[in-house]
Structure 1
Amino acid sequence: MAVSTINRQDNQPVYVLHTYPFKETSLVVELLTRDFGRVAAVAKGARRPRSAMRGMLQSFQPLLGTWSGKAELKSLHSLEWGSGLLLLKGEALMCGFYLNELMLRLLPREDAHEGLFDYYAQTLKTLSANAHYATTLRRFELKMLQEMGYAVPLTEDEAAVEVVAAQSYVYVAERGACAESTKDGVSLIGKTLLDMARDDYTDPKTQLQSKQLMRVLLAHYLGDKPLHTRQLLVDLQGL
């Protein structure tokens, strides 16, 4: 079997999450793929001025990618434009980079999450179409953790008792809403959790407390190394 046909995948839906130099003229491309999860592949010669692939390596654009290889680092053979090109500008662009960094940090390689891929595509369209950036980010953060299998219970507390809208809780990562006071976690009211479960972020208090909650949960799973784009968003608009 020829090397180029080993585990070859043709014209798969992909997004470019990140690129970085590899040797003198090539790039490593981190791809988000629908059916194969996060895939790293070498785009040979992509740093050369006349490379046909160089202009295709744009984040946030739906692409069709072809690659092959059995090792963790694949060979990227081609990219083609998908449908519905997007334009992200200003804060929307920064939000897009934040989503990409979040997935680079949390998504293991070659672990498919078809639902997350589709939601990412829809979130990019939402960012390009309206300015409700903070709410859009909260929805994606929650969806991502849920799709990856992290427990984020919203309608029941840690004792499996239904959350009460008017009651105060402390939400602790991997435990959920705690009715008793604890030094760990985020203080919030039950209504915030119920609103998040209903995907309703119209209440300003829900917006604030959901941001605090997701920041603590993500920090728990990300570990000691903070997201670069998170700080940029905070500096911009407190997103």
Structure 2
Amino acid sequence: MAVISADNISSLSSDAKEPAKAPARRARPAEKELRIADQPAFVLHSYPYKETSLIVDVLSRDHGRVALVAKGAKRPHSRLRGVLQTFQPLSLSWSGKSEVRTLTAAEWVGGLLPLEKSALLCGFYLNELLVKLLVRDDPHPALFSHYTSALNQLAHDEPPAIVLRKFERALLKESGVAGDWTRCTVSRETVIADLLYVIDPEAGPRPAHVADTAPKVLGKTLLDMDNEDYADATTQTQSKFLMRFLLAHHLHGATLNTRQILIDLLQL
């Protein structure tokens, strides 16, 4: 096909038909630049960007998971270098209208003890769950509160298994992928404590069958989980395998690196 350039336009016959014009496209409205100030947030993950900057994935209270570029954060004397730490409450400000916004201010708020030893590993597990399960720019203020509470409990040496089960359940519920587990989807009645059930990841509890390969749990376990009561040893064991099964389903095959470490080292 011949290409008509600016140099040979003049050689076209003056009576040649003018090519049909493409229909005019309606201009898309310009995205409004966001300016967010003093937003409570936590750093979930960061990685290098160009020579001196970082891309920081944060969980904010009112704006959900947000990606920010922290310009110059890798420079030795940058104020951001010591502030953008995981598991510490921060107050962040940012602006921009693209998927990755620009961090404009960051301050350490304080109020939480640092995580140490096994608690630190559990904290990285919580962060990996949030990064892999939450879409960006989807606010979850209740989940933000659950996350803050989980970090506080881990820092005060609460049993890690119980802290993780509570947070896993809150994450699935608040992100909208799990509903009420206390009501049977077949009978529409409250689950019976001494009957066995399986959880359909897309629907909810139903009576267990012999051929089911999904984890079977007592109705009592589901009721205990709803009440955040993990005192019973059976509830602890059944809830661990149930959450492992459900998270694998909702992650669509994505692996959790910290989960395997927790299994290997701490049997969590």
**Which TM-score bucket, shorter chain as reference?**
over 0.9
Q: Which has the higher contact order (CA 8 A, sep 6+)?
A: 1
Q: How far has the Cα of 1:154 moved from its partner?
A: 2.0
Q: How far has the Cα of 1:157 moved from its partner?
A: 1.4
Match of 1:7 among 12, 30, 34: 34
- Residue in structure 2 matched with residue 89 of structure 1 by the alignment: 116
Counterparts of 1:91 and 1:109 in 2: how far apart (Å)? 28
Q: C-alpha deviations, 1:128-150, integer Å up to 9, x for none?
A: 01231000000000011111112
**Alignment pair present for 1:220 and 2:249:** yes
1:23 partner amino acid: K
Q: Which has the larger radius of gyration?
A: 2
Q: How far has the Cα of 1:173 moved from its partner?
A: 1.3
- Residue in structure 2 matched with residue 80 of structure 1 by the alignment: 107
Q: Is there any run of 5+ residues in structure 2 with no aligned partner, and where?
A: 1-31
- Residue in structure 1 matched with residue 141 of structure 2 by the alignment: 114
Counterparts of 2:196 and 2:39 in 1: how far apart (Å)? 47
CA-atom RMSD, angstroms?
A: 1.4
Match of 2:173 among 146, 149, 154: 146
Q: Is there any run of 5+ residues in structure 1 with no aligned partner, and where?
A: none
How many aligned positions are there? 235
**8 A Cα contact 1:173 1:185, kept in partner:** no
1:190 partner amino acid: G
- Residue in structure 1 matched with residue 184 of structure 2 by the alignment: 157
Q: How far has the Cα of 1:168 moved from its partner?
A: 1.6
Q: How far has the Cα of 1:174 moved from its partner?
A: 1.4
Write out the 4+ residue segments of structure 1 that deviate beyond 3 Å after TM superposition.
Answer: none
Q: Secondary structure at the match of 1:8?
A: strand
Moved more, 184-193 or 5-14: 5-14
Q: How far has the Cα of 1:85 moved from its partner?
A: 3.7
Match of 2:90 among 63, 67, 86: 63
Q: How far has the Cα of 1:108 moved from its partner?
A: 0.6
Counterparts of 2:169 and 2:128 in 1: how far apart (Å)? 15
**Alignment pair present for 1:179 and 2:207:** yes
2:70 partner amino acid: A
Structure-1-length-normalised TM-score: 0.94
**8 A Cα contact 2:38 2:91, kept in partner:** yes
Alignment of 1:226-237 (within 5 A): 226-237=255-266
Q: Secondary structure at the match of 2:69?
A: strand
**Alignment pair present for 1:202 and 2:231:** yes
Q: How far has the Cα of 1:180 moved from its partner?
A: 4.3
Counterparts of 1:88 and 1:171 in 2: how far apart (Å)? 33
Question: Could you say which structure has the higher helix fraction?
Answer: 1
Counterparts of 2:208 and 2:148 in 1: how far apart (Å)? 40
Q: How far has the Cα of 1:51 moved from its partner?
A: 1.2
